[in-house]
Structures are given as C-alpha cells and as structure tokens.
Amino acid sequence: MTMHKPLREVAAALLVAVATAPAIADTTEERRRRGDAVIRSLNHGQPQQVLERMRQEFPFLADATEAYALGDVWSRPGLDSRTRQLAAVAAFAAIGQTAFMKVHAGYALNIGVSENELKEVIYMVTVPAGFPRAIAASQALSELFAERRSARPGGGRTSP
C-alpha cells in the first residue's frame, strides 16, 4: 500500500482539482463531498477516523468539520497545501492543541513537507507562545516521526 505513493498523491490532488471551488449555489452535500476529497488528498486516500467516529453521536459536528472546516476553508485555492499545513501546524502548536497539531503534521508529511520544516515551525513557536507549548509540540512530533518509521518496511527516515 505504501508503494505507489506518487501515483496516489497525484490521484488525490486530482480529486481536489475536480472538486469545484466554493460557490454560493453549493449545497451542503457538495461542500461535504469537497471536504471528503480534501481529507483523502491529505491522508493517503483514506477518510479521517476521528471524524467517522464523531458522526455517530455528534452528526452536526462531523458535518461542520467536513463541510465547513475542510470543504469551505481547507479547499480554498488561494493558498498552496504545503503553506496551509505549515501555518495550521503553527496555529495548533501555539494554542496548545497538540493532538490536532500531530494530525495536521502527519498530513503535511503526506504531501511532501519535510520533518525538518515541521521542526523549524515548532522552534518558531517558542517566540509567540513560549517554551512549554513548543516542547509539547516537539514531543508530539517525535511520536509522529516514530510511528511513521515503525510503520515503514525499512524503518528509515522519510526526509532529513
């Protein structure tokens, strides 16, 4: 499954491209479909597990995450995906939301951001938000990097 990564990424990117830009005539059904395409483009073609579990008991919250957060915001064309992911990682780390930071850092790795760039964003967070938030984020990144390495056949590093 990890073999044809470039192909899968191209496919995912196409899904997003196909998903039309937000428009006033869009139905919520279309916005959710666009959000689903965004997640798959960031998540190796897979849906988001947390989102799917939330759907059972908190359907509105799952729909809002999918249609608004992903379908409306994350699908906007004015910012490239790399920059949006790095800015999101900075924002989640600065407000102390390390679990969300870890998810979005994973998406960033999936679309080609390097481990190094993620570390640099975390170093930067010491300035606006202090050392505890940067250190907590570094620990979540360490976990993420370790999970990725143990999940990969050779167990090596993805990027410097």
Residues that bind a copy of itself (CB under 8 A): 22-29, 31-32, 50, 54, 57-58, 60-61, 64-65, 68-69, 72-74, 76, 78-79, 82-84, 86-97, 99-100, 116-117, 119-135, 138, 141-142, 145
DSSP assigned state of 155: -
Nearest distance from C-beta of residue 103 to a copy of itself, angstroms? 10
* Cβ 92 vs Cβ 104: under 8 Å: yes
Please, what is the angle between helix 81-94 and helix 131-151, to 10°?
130
Measured between alpha carbons, how far is 97 from 100 in angstroms, rounded to an integer? 6
* Cβ 109 vs Cβ 141: under 8 Å: no
Closest CA to 113 of 9, 7, 29: 9
Nearest distance from C-beta of residue 1 to a copy of itself, angstroms? 27
Nearest distance from C-beta of residue 55 to a copy of itself, angstroms? 11
Closer residue to a copy of itself, CB minimum distance, 8 or 129: 129
Nearest distance from C-beta of residue 117 to a copy of itself, angstroms? 6
